[in-house]
Structure formats: structure tokens, C-alpha cells
Amino acid sequence: MIDGIKVQIGPEEFTAAPLNFKALKKFGPLIDEFGGGRRTSLADLPMLQDVIAASIRRNHPDVSDDFFDEWIDTKNVSIILGTVMRASGVGDAVPGEQKPIAEAGQTTIGEKSTST
């Protein structure tokens, strides 16, 4: 298992791994835009899901697109993407993202809280 940050997506807990160079090359321009303050739009959703999937599937290769479609929503997408960015060493690349909990490696989604 690749070291990362635990994140709850729907009923499952996953370890978000750092994005590899392949994913960073592919998604780097989008990540840079969000780091520069660009707001997300509905047109960005497929690529945001691809970024999340690239991280999650490094440790959990069998997670389907259908799972992400069902369990990632407007309430948790910025939290999950922020966790992926922190796991990748990119920091808070999503404008308006909830700030991390005081304890390192802990992410909250709704009322659930997970620790690494």
C-alpha cells in the first residue's frame, strides 16, 4: 500500500495516494489553475473525478467510475479533492475547500471523521 491520507467516500474508507508523474503531467494545468484561484464549474467535474480516481486507484485499483459517480457529490468533492492534493504534496489547490482538522492526517466529511 502506498502511504497517503485516509478519506471516506460514501460507505468506504480509502487511502488517497500521491498522484504519480503520469497523473501530474496530465492534470497539472488544471491543478495549477485551481491553485491560482479559478473556481470550478460543472464542465470540470469529469476531470476532477479523474484526478480523484488517479489517486484512489493507486491503492484501490478495483474502484469503479460508477462508485465515484454515486458517492462523490457537491458537498464532498472539494474535501476529497483537497485530500488528494494534500496527499500529493500540492496543498490546498481547491478554492473554498474546508481547512484540515487540527490533527494532521484527519479529514472530515459530513459528521464522519477519519484519522491516519
Query: 10-23, pLDDT tens digit by residue?
Result: 999 999 999 999 99
H-state helical runs in the chain: 21-35, 45-59, 65-71, 77-87
pLDDT at residue 55 in the model: 97
Model-level pTM greater than 0.85?
Answer: no
Q: Which residues lie closer than 8 Å to 106 by C-beta, 6 or more apart? A: 100, 113, 114, 115, 116
- Rounded mean pLDDT of 78-96? 78
pLDDT at residue 11 in the model: 96
| Total of domains in the chain | 1
Distance CA 69, CA 1 (A): 24
pLDDT at residue 101 in the model: 34
Q: Does position 56 have pLDDT exceeding 70, yes or no? A: yes
Give the residue numbers spanning the domain of 25.
5-114
